[in-house]
Structure formats: C-alpha cells, structure tokens
Amino acid sequence: MASLPVPQICSKKQNSCFCHPQPGCLCMVWSTQPENGRGRRIPGLFWLSWEPQSHLTYRPKDTQPQARYWEVRGQKKQNLLTIPPGFKKGMDFAPKDRPTPAPGLLSLSYLLEPLDLGGGDEDENEAVGQPGGSRRDAVSASPCSTPLARASSLEDLVLKEASTAVSAPEAPEPPPQEQWAIPVDATSPVGDFYRLIPQPAFQWAFEPDVFQKQAILHLERHDSVFVAAHTSAGKTVVAEYAIALAQKHMTRTIYTSPIKALSNQKFRDFRNTFGDVGLLTGDVQLHPEASCLIMTTEILRSMLYSGSDVIRDLEWVIFDEVHYINDAERGVVWEEVLIMLPDHVSIILLSATVPNALEFADWIGRLKRRQIYVISTVTRPVPLEHYLFTGNSSKTQGELFLLLDSRGAFHTKGYYAAVEAKKERMSKHAQTFGAKQPTHQGGPAQVRTGRVLYLPELNLCPFSFLLQDRGLPVVVFTFSRGRCDEQASGLTSLDLTTSSEKSEIHLFLQRCLARLRGSDRQLPQVLHMSELLNRGLGVHHSGILPILKEIVEMLFSRGLVKVLFATETFAMGVNMPARTVVFDSMRKHDGSTFRDLLPGEYVQMAGRAGRRGLDPTGTVILLCKGRVPEMADLHRMMMGKPSQLQSQFRLTYTMILNLLRVDALRVEDMMKRSFSEFPSRKDSKAHEQALAELTKRLGSLEEPDMTGQLVDLPEYYGWGEELTETQHMIQRRIMESVNGLKSLSAGRVVVVKNQEHRNALGVILQVSSNSTSRVFTTLVLCDKPLSQDPQNRGPATPEVPYPDDLVGFKLFLPEGPCHHTVVKLQPGDMAAITTKVLRVNGEKILEDFSKRQQPKFKKDPPLAAVTTAVQELLRLAQAHPAGPPTLDPVNDLQLKDVSVVEGGLRARKLEELIRGAQCVHSPRFPAQYLKLRERMQIQKEMERLRFLLSDQSLLLLPEYHQRVEVLRTLGYVDEAGTVKLAGRVACAMSSHELLLTELMFDNALSTLRPEEIAALLSGLVCQSPGDDGNGYLLDLGIERVRAVAKRIGEVQVACGLNQTVEEFVGELNFGLVEVVYEWARGMPFSELAGLSGTPEGLVVRCIQRLAEMCRSLRGAARLVGEPVLGAKMETAATLLRRDIVFAASLYTQ
C-alpha cells in the first residue's frame, strides 16, 4: 500500500493525537473507553468531527432520488456510499453483469475484477458524475467497473500513492442566498412516489401519509429533515425508513432519545422490525456492533468527545423528541452533539409541533452548511374534542360540557353552562351544610366522615360515565405522585377486566416477576400494583419501580389496562394512545412555583387521546373539582402556541476541559455555534460585507483639515459625543427609578427631544398602564403642523452643533403662530423633567385632538382646555428660555445611584471643555466638522461590526473566563491553558467533576470501605429529601465532603461566578446515606422501606446513578495510578448492582 505522509506529534500531547501540520489535520485518536461500543482502544484515522466547513456538498443533478453527486475538492464524485469522505477512490459493491467462466477455469483477474483497489486513470475518474448522465451510466463508467489489465505479479496491483492520499477538506459553495431551512408543503400530494422510489428500502402494511412520503423522498436524496408533527401522527415511520436505508447502504444509524426508558422501548420495537439493533445506555450495552444503535444523547456526546470509531461509518443520526432541548438541565447536551457531529452525517429531527421549527432548522443548516427540509403537519390524524366535567356524583355524571370541538372552535356557551352548573351545586351545598352547621364536638367528626365517603364517589364518577359511553381506555394525568396513588387506591369497587383478561394479566405478571428474588416479589408496591392491574387499573410515575412501570406500559399497549393514572412523563414515550385523556388539574408545580400548564405541555399530554384507525375522535376531559377556571386561561392553554425551541446552552467544566484538550475546536467556537448565539451570528456574513464596504468608503473620504484653530476639532467632537452619552445615561437612570416614573404623571411638564422635536415643552396627558413599557401621550408645542412624511420634516438637531447647542437648554419658541401636536413618547424622548405641573383634562384634550384629525373637522377651533394648556406651555417657554427648573436626581428624586452622581460631575466638566474650544471660532469649522463626523461615524460603525464578529461579543465569554480561572486556581489547567492531570481526571467523571476530583486528590475516599464510599457518594446523586443522620461512622465523611464543596464554592465566588457558596453546598443531599449503606451491605430491598419514606422508584434511580458514578471513579483511579481506590470502586459497583435495582429491562428480553 502507498505510504501516508509521516505524522508529527500534536502540540497537545495529552490528546494522544498525531497531526499533519496543515489545515484539516488527519488525526490518529486512541479511544480510552472500554470495549462497549463507545470506542475500543484501537487507533483510527479520520477527520476530526468538528471541522468548521464540510468538504462535501450534495448537489442533486436530476429528479431521480437514487442519483447522488458529491463535490470533493472541486471534483465531482458519485455516490458517497462507495467513495469515503476525503478519498478519491472507492469501491462499488453493486453486482456486475459479467460472464461466468467454466468451472475450474477461474483466473486471478476474474477474482480481482470486482475490486478496484485504487488503480486506474485519474482522468477516467473525472468523468464520473458528469451532468446529464444517469446513475447507471455513471456507475458503468466508473473505474470500479473497469476490468483490470492482466498483471504478471501481485506487486503490479498495489495502490498508487497519488490515488490514496487523503485530501484536506475544503469549504463547499453555499446554497444561493444561504437559505438553509427549506419549508415543505405537507399538504401537497406525492403522486409519483412509487415512480421515484420503485424499490423502497422499507415497506409498511399501511399507506404512508403525505408528510411521511415527503420525508422519505428527502431521505433517499440523503437530505437532512426536521419533522415537526402532532402527537401520534407517525413520526417513527421516518426513523424506520432511515434505519432500513442505512442497512441497505451497509452504513450505520444512531437513534437518540432523551430518557433511558424510551431508549429501551425503541430497542424492543426496532429489534422486532430490523433485527440488527443495539442498545447503549449508562448501565447496558447490547450488540454495540449493530448497524442501528439506540442510545441516550449523553452517550452520543461521550462518543464524540472520545473519538469513538462508531462515528466512522455513521450515515444517519435520529434525534427523537427534539422539543426536549428546552429542558433546563439536559438541553445543553443536544446542542453539544449537534455542534460536534461530523458534517457528512445526515440529521433527522423528530419533534412535536413547535412554532420556530424553521429558525431551529436554519441554525443547524448554517452550522452544517447544508439544507434542512422542514416538514410540519397541519392537523392531527385523529381530531380531539375537549370537555369540562363538573360532576361529583352518580347523579351529576352527565355534566360534560363541550369546550373545544374537533374543528378547533371554542364554545363559549359550553363554558358558561359549566360555570352555571358549578355555581348551582355550590349554592345548594352551602345552603345544606350552612343550615346544619354543627356547633358541638361531634360535628367535625361527621364532616370528616362525609369527606371520606365523598372522595371515592368523586373518583369513580368520571369513569362510570366513560364506561357507559365506551370511553375506555383512559389516561388520567395527575401532577403529583401521591395523588396518583391515592386516586388509584380509592377506586376499590371498580373492576374493568373480564375473567379471560384477568387470566392473561396474571400469567404476564408471573412471567415478568419470575426474574425477581422471592422477597422482591413480595414487596408492598409489587403486591399493590398486581392487585390494581388485575382490575384493569395502573399507576405510572417516577416513584414506581422500573420493572413495574414497564409491566404497566406493556399491559396498557395490549389494552389490558383500562384506566391509567400517570404523571407528565408518560406523555413522552412510544405511541401508546388512549380513547380518552383526563386532566386531574390544569395547574402543576414546576420545581419552583405552581402555575398553569403551558400550551405545549397540554397539547403533548392531550395528544395521547384518540387511537388512529379505531376512534373517529379523541376525548379530552378537564375535571373541575373546585371552581371552573377562567375562560382566558383555558383558551390560552388549549389554543395558545406551543413553547418555542429555546437554547439551554451553558458552560460546564467538563465541556471546557474536553475542548481544551483538542486543537480543532475552541470553547469560543462552541459558544459561537450554539443556538443561543444564533440570532446575533446568523448575519455574520452580512456584517463582513458591510465591514468591507465601510472600509472601502472610509478610504475614499477626504481627510479633514485640522490645522490652525481647528487643532482641537477631534477633541471637540469627542467631548460632544461623550456629553450626549452621559446625559442619556443619567436620564435613563432617572426613568428606570421608581420615583422618576412616579413623577411622570398626567400634568407634568417635560422637555421633549427626539427626531421631530428639539427641546420643546410638552405636558403629559396620559400614561400607559403597562409598567414594563411605559408610553406617555404628550401635548407638545410646535411651529406648524408636522408633516406626516418623515422625509419632509426638518432636522430636530442642528447639522453642525456649536457650544450653545451642546451645553444647557435653549428651549424651542415658535417663530410665528404657536401650534401643537399630540405624540406618544418613550422615556428616552424626554430630555428633562421639570418641577412644573399643570391642571389638564387629558381625556378631553385627546378626544378633541383626535376629532380634529378628521378631514371634516380639521378647521374646527380647539377646545378651551387645549388652548389653555398650549398658552401655559408657551408662557413657560418665554419666561425660561434656558428651560424651567428641573427635578434634581439626588435631592428631589432621592436617586442614590453612584453612576448618576459621577455622571453629573463629568457632564459639568465636559461643558467647561466645550465652552473653551477654539475650533468653533474658525470660519472653516462647519465644513471640516462635517468631514470629521462622517469619518468618525464610519469608524464607530466599523468598531461595532468588528465587535459583533469577534469572540468578545459572546454572551457567555465572561463566564468562560471565570470558569477557566477556577480551573487554573484549582490546578486543572496551567497558565497556557494546557490540561493537567487533575483536569484529565475530571474529564472522566460523569457529573460533579470538580468535587469528585478534589475528593480523590485529597485522599478522602481511599481510607473508607467500599460500602462506605457508596453511601457517601449518594449525597451527590440523591434527589429526594431526607435526614442526613445515619447513625454510622459517616458523619466525619459527610462533613469532609461538605468542606471540600465549600472550598470549591469559595474559589468560584472569588473568580466571579454568581453561584453562592451556600447554593453550591446545598446541592448535596445525604438523605439516602443509610439506605445505600445497608443496600451495599446486602440488605434485601424489602427491608429498606422502613429506613426511609422515599418512594421505591426514586431509591432505585439513585442507586443506578450511583453505580455509574462508581464506574467513572474506577476509571479515574486507574488513570492516576491508584489501584487500591480503583479496586474499591469496582467492589462498590458490584455490591450495588444486584436484585430488583438492576433487574434487566423487559424491553431487552
């Protein structure tokens, strides 16, 4: 084989990376992960995935989706599937029509003929992919199908060096006008679908919808797509076709999901369909060599950071539930992955309907320099009907009022009927219990007894109605784990399953629970859930054991669970629709406060109603247990726009350290490419063009003559600009103050200075009620009625300002008859607030002025109230040519802002300098001032554009410098930014990288036993409240962990980060220390319930995350040469991984 150029050692040796000294370096990356599919320790040559510009550009040449032409370094190549990125030669695996020789006469040339190992003519290769040729013609003309000349020896068949040299990628030509997000009309039929794709890679038992066909056509063309469709519309069809297409192409697909439970479900579904499917999650690795890998987004991010060889032959990455990018905690992971993905990988984005899908696709398109086709559905496949339910007993179970019909019309009559029904019942209840209000001791007991009897009746009421109306199955969304359990337990008399269904449920439970040990099968939650399931009821929330949640999901998908009480997380899963969805409430606690459901949250959960092919419509019911919600709130929740996709990008120490270890991508580049910076960065090319034009214009300007008396002309210009900015700052502070806004009431006289008026007196007539953006309707003096055309208005400021124009006030005085106008002012339009207040009737003045704007009343004289106000303003202007007395910011408005005081002193100093300027006395001053001002304004605009194009404009740049200073102070990086040993250890941590690294280097863990280490580390992953006391010898360990956390928090505060020490230390939660300690010592799970009131599902989640943290520490210990600690962490992980906590997922069996 031909030899590659000799690699040279990279400047950052800690990367184990060998680079060519040229752009687009070819890297040999050693993966440090174990052999689990995330990267084996095998060196591999490939282009770094974060190359800024892709060296591949797809250019369709005809209407045939099978024909793919790619441009590599300016040379047209055909079919990326046969020619790897960066190579000039490839291999065509398509069968060739060749004569078969007689048996026994096989020659060496016949055996080697299908394999063109890179030989052939270079000119011959240029002909491939010429316009006008079909794919079949192009393939037949390719060197891969050209017979090899007979050779006398095998040495003649070796590769030529010139044909195998890997070329550095070049930037592709951008599409015309840089339109990266291409909307696709999802209502336009695809009549020639089967003509364009005569042999689809995958076929279904049903006819795909229009939007699915359009997406499939673009997948065949190797385009990236963003499918934003309604819940249960069939987005998975697009993912299935991409997987089938990759298997046909012998490439690889990665499917990512936001949660591990969804990954497990998709693994089961895709494995049943395609067979060759693998699963990679935090604790499970199944078939990592498969062509389709299911994983969480965090696993894919780890692969990209570690340079996994899985990325080599990757063709598609499917991002499901893209709207999860709005998650404040984990949304940043999605952005990291999208930024770091190799540009040749095609992207499939699947999401619920979002209003800014085009904007998000535009960001990705600009990021990857390729077009993204956006396909959105217009309507749901099964329309929904939304009702209000006000009943509370069997007598009132028919109180169901239609609020929003299947056509999307809001019924106000239904709303008012529900309000009246509720009022009538509450009135009767008040009369009944009010007349019999007990005053003796036994009264309250009777009330409590009545309440206990009333609750099950209220719970049972809606389901009795749905049972009669054939409204089952039903999902009841309840925004509290406790209420889910209470409501299910309250339905003791409800039995919805037949005898045959009970038998099927019993056998399924036995089969699923047989994998558990005996004591685990007798857990109270297991027994209670089994009893509920036997009657067709189910509960699904984070407090339920994972294996029980999977049992509930599987039985629900089979139609054996008729009523399911679930929290919001059930809405984010595989397609499990119901006939009816019931909302227990329209308010939820989001972690900080109670609030109404957002439109996107409501639509996501309500979308579970309506089974395609079974129900003509889906039913959504909102229970009104108390008062009926306000109509405006219901309208906003049901018909409002879903939440936009918003960037949750934030800097983390792991991200910074990982990026500091590579040369190809800086942290500043990661920030610059984030979705949060997209609004300011999308116009960067326009900024560059504007900067070039301004530079050219500046060079053509004539230099101003600043000799003689004009020597201080630049200073004069600068003093005037600084004085104006200082005055604006002071006025802005006044307008932002409470007292300043209070002073701007109706009747206050102000000095107006904006584009139309220069130092004109005005009186405020009306103030807008919106305090966030106050608007002041003001009567202002003017010379004559202002022209409606801004171009015909005279300049409000003089063309050449003299000292009298810059310093002090020179109030406007009409030259002829005094006129007036009414304008709407912003706080910045007022140059001063005077001490004068006039008595005015604002409503009358506004009504009269509005009337006189009409043509037939234009010549009517103004009212007396208008005339009085105008004359009073004119009298003030004549009496005070330099302006009436103004409110002092400090003495009158009690403004204690230091910047205001300093600004006032600076303004007075600037006024003195302006008055003493010599340049204004020169006859050449006006002409030379205009020349200087034009030059200075151009330079100022150029500075603004340079700032927008530089790293200094990044929003997170100050925080980045602060975090780097933290890392430097703690010894993770040196002064040059090179990552040291501690930084490399921190990169190996999955979370709490600084705290874990400091604990390791402080030797705080090595002296403890494995079970004690596990219990201590539970404080870093526990998310449930509890007591920190444990009764064991871990008090000192807990205090030591908190002391280390306090030290890190103090360093962060000293470096300027906003998080306080108390907030940083408060993130630790040692509520499950005793539970984890006893579990690691071997206590059965059934005995752990008495140690803590934490729900079983949360305990399992804590222990699972803890085992993953122990594995991270084991790898870090080996990295620093701590075999003792590494062995202890291995033992701790083994002690944790047992029984029901780590029972295998039912979806993987």
For 895-943, give the DSSP string: ---HHHHHHHHHHHHHHHHHHT-SGGGSTTHHHHHHHHHHHHHHHHHHH
230 and 358 in a common domain? yes
Is 372 found in the same domain as 389? no
pLDDT mean over 162-189? 62
Range from 544-558, 711-725, 851-865, 1128-1142 carrying the lowest mean pLDDT: 851-865
Chain segment 927-960, per-residue pLDDT in tens: 999 999 999 999 999 999 999 999 898 999 999 9
272 lies in the same domain as 401: no
- Of the CA atoms within 13 Å of residue 108, those in its CB half-sphere come to 8
Rounded CA-CA distance 579/384 in Å is 10
Residues shown for the chain: 1149
Query: Which of 898, 917, 936 is the endpoint of a domain?
Result: 917
Helices 1035-1054 and 1010-1017 cross at an angle (nearest 10°) of 50
pLDDT band per the 50, 70, 90 thresholds, residue 433: low
Decide if 286 contacts 299 (C-beta within 8 A).
no
Within a domain: 164: no
In single-letter form, the type of residue at position 968 comes to: R
pLDDT of amino acid 291: 95
Q: If you write DSSP's letter for every residue of 77-117 in order, what string do you get? A: EE-TTTS-TT-S-----S----PPPPTT---HHHHHTT---
Which residue, 575, 186, 634, 582, is CA-closest to 375? Answer: 186
CATH number for the domain spanning 396: value is: 3.40.50.300
Backbone angles phi, psi at 1141, to 5 degrees: -65, -35
Residue of 731 and 944 predicted with greater confidence: 944
pLDDT band at 775 (very low <50, low <70, confident <90, very high): confident
Give yes or no for residue 177 having a pLDDT over 90.
no
Asked if residue 1030 is part of any domain, the answer here is yes
Q: Within this chain, do residues 819 and 734 fall inside the same structural domain, yes or no?
A: yes
| Domain boundaries, position 605 | 385-429+457-496+524-582+597-639
pLDDT exceeds 50 at position 36: no
Query: Phi-psi bin for 1056: left (phi > 0), alpha (psi -120 to 50), beta?
Result: left
**Count of H helices and E strands in the chain?**
41, 30
Among 917, 948, 978, give the residue marking a domain's end: 917
Question: Is residue 771 assigned to a domain?
Answer: yes
Q: Is the pLDDT of residue 194 over 70?
A: yes
Q: How confident is the model at residue 720 (pLDDT cuts 50, 70, 90)?
A: very high
> Is 297 found in the same domain as 394?
no
- CA distances, 303 to each of 37, 290, 352, 668 (Å): 9, 16, 27, 21
- pLDDT category at 396 given cuts 50, 70, 90 is confident
The pLDDT of 478-482, averaged and rounded, is 91
In a domain, 398, yes or no: yes
How many domains does the structure of the chain reveal? 5
Strand partners, 776: 767, 825
Residues 479 and 623 in one domain: yes
Q: What is the pLDDT of residue 1056?
A: 94
Instruction: Check whether residue 1114 and residue 1087 sit in a common domain.
Output: yes
Mean pLDDT over residues 1043-1056, rounded? 96
Same domain, 331 and 260: yes
In whole angstroms, give the CA distance from residue 494 to residue 1070.
Answer: 41
- Segment 411-434 shows an average pLDDT of 82
Q: What was the pLDDT predicted at 3?
A: 43
* Comparison of pLDDT for 1042 and 259, the residue scoring more: 1042
861 and 728 both lie in a single domain: yes
* Predicted local confidence at residue 772, as pLDDT: 58
Per-residue pLDDT reduced to its tens digit, 873-919 = 999 998 988 888 988 888 888 888 888 889 889 999 999 999 999 99
Q: Is residue 578 part of a domain?
A: yes
Q: What is the mean pLDDT of residues 844-871?
A: 90
For the chain, the C-alpha Rg in angstroms (whole number) is: 37
pLDDT at 7: 41
Q: Is the pLDDT of residue 798 over 70?
A: no
745 compared with 76, residue with greater pLDDT? 745
| Domain presence at residue 936 | no
Average pLDDT over residues 508-515: 93
Residues 396 and 373 in one domain: no
Q: Rank 429-443, 719-733, 809-823 by mean pLDDT and report only the highest.
A: 719-733
Residue 463's pLDDT band (boundaries 50, 70, 90)? low
Whether the predicted model's global pTM rises above the 0.85 cut: no
Residue-wise pLDDT for 569-605, tens only, equals: 888 766 788 999 999 999 998 878 889 999 989 998 9
Distance between first and last Cα of the chain: 46
Q: Which of 733, 775, 783 is nearest to 758 (CA)?
A: 783
pLDDT of residue 91: 66
Same domain, 214 and 245: yes
Residue 811 pLDDT level (bands cut at 50, 70, 90): confident
Q: What was the pLDDT predicted at 626?
A: 83
| CA–CA distance, 1040 with 1033 (Å, rounded to integer) | 12
Cα(964)–Cα(145) distance, integer angstroms = 56
Report d(CA 165, CA 902) in Å as an integer.
66
Structure tokens at 174: 């951008």
| In contact, 731 and 825? CB cutoff 8 Å | no
Whether the per-residue pLDDT at 1083 is higher than 50: the answer is: yes
Residue 1015: the pLDDT is: 94
pLDDT at 470 over 90: no
Mean pLDDT is lowest, of 67-76, 326-335, 496-505, for 67-76
pLDDT at 460: 58
Looking at the domain assignment, is residue 1079 inside a domain?
Answer: yes
Assign 662 a pLDDT band (cuts: 50, 70, 90). confident
Task: Tell me what pLDDT residue 452 has.
Answer: 31
Asked whether residue 295 carries a pLDDT value surpassing 80, the answer given is yes
> Would residue 57 count as lying in a domain?
no
Which residue, of 877, 899, 917, is where some domain finishes? 917
Average pLDDT of 114-132?
39
**To the nearest 5 percent, what fractions of the chain are helix, strand and coil?**
45, 15, 40
Mean per-residue pLDDT for 689-703? 93
Q: What is the pLDDT of residues 45-100, one digit of tens each?
A: 334 444 344 333 333 434 444 433 344 334 444 456 666 666 666 666 555 555 54
Contact 1084, 1099 (CB under 8 A): no
User: Do 322 and 404 fall within a single domain?
Assistant: no
Burial 771-794 (b: 16+ CB within 10 A, else e): eeeeebbbbbbbeeebeeeeeeee
Which uninterrupted H or E stretch holds 228? Answer: strand 224-228
